[in-house]
Amino acid sequence: MPFSFPTGRAPFAVAAAACALALTTLAGCSDGGGGGGSSSATKSGASPSAGGGTQVTISNFKFQPASLTVAPGAKITVVNNDTTTHTFTADKGGSFDTGDIAPGKSATVTAPSNAGAFPFHCMIHPFMKGTLTVK
C-alpha cells in the first residue's frame, strides 16, 4: 500500500501553528545573550537608588544591569519587577544574598568590603547571571 501525503489546507495550518509555537517557546527561553561572562568595570546603566546606593532591577528574567561597579561597602537595592520570585546571590563565599524577593518587592545588600569581581546569579533561575565589581 503506497503512502500518500494529506492534501488541503488543514495539514499546512497544523504545521504552521506548530512551527509558530516552537519559535515562541524558544524565544521565551532565550537569555538575550546579555548575561554571564561579562566582568565590565563600568556601571553599564546601574541607577542610583533613593538612598544614594545603586539599584539593580530584575525584569523578564534578567538583571539590569548585569554588570555593575560599586565602592566597597556600597548599598545595592535589588527591585523585582518580574512576575516570579528571584534572588540576587553571590556565586561563592556568601558575600551577599538577598534571599527570596517576591514580585513587586525589593531587598538591599551590602557590597563586599574587599575589591574584586563577584559573579552573582538567581538561585531559583541559575541562568540569570551577572558580575558585581567592587573597587
pLDDT tens digit sequence for 49-96? 444 579 999 999 999 999 999 999 999 999 999 999 999 999 998 999
Domain covering 47-134 assigned CATH 2.60.40.420 in the classification: yes
What's residue 134's pLDDT? Answer: 97
Residue 61 to residues 38, 80, 105: CA-CA distances in angstroms? 17, 10, 15
Gap between the Cα atoms of 1 and 45, Å rounded: 66
Domain ranges of the chain: 47-134
Q: Which pTM value belongs to this model?
A: 0.63
User: pLDDT digit string (tens) for 32-43?
Assistant: 333 333 222 223
The closest of 114, 108, 111 to 70, measured between CA atoms, is 111
What's residue 72's pLDDT? Answer: 97
The closest of 35, 21, 30, 79 to 53, measured between CA atoms, is 79
For residue 7 the three cell numbers come to 492534501
What's residue 21's pLDDT? Answer: 44
What's residue 53's pLDDT? Answer: 79
The alpha carbon of 100 is separated from its chain's Cα centroid by a whole number of angstroms, namely: 14
Q: Which residues, 6+ apart, have CB-to-CB distance to 54 below 8 Å?
A: 43, 46, 47, 48, 68, 70, 74, 75, 76, 77
Amino acid at 91: D
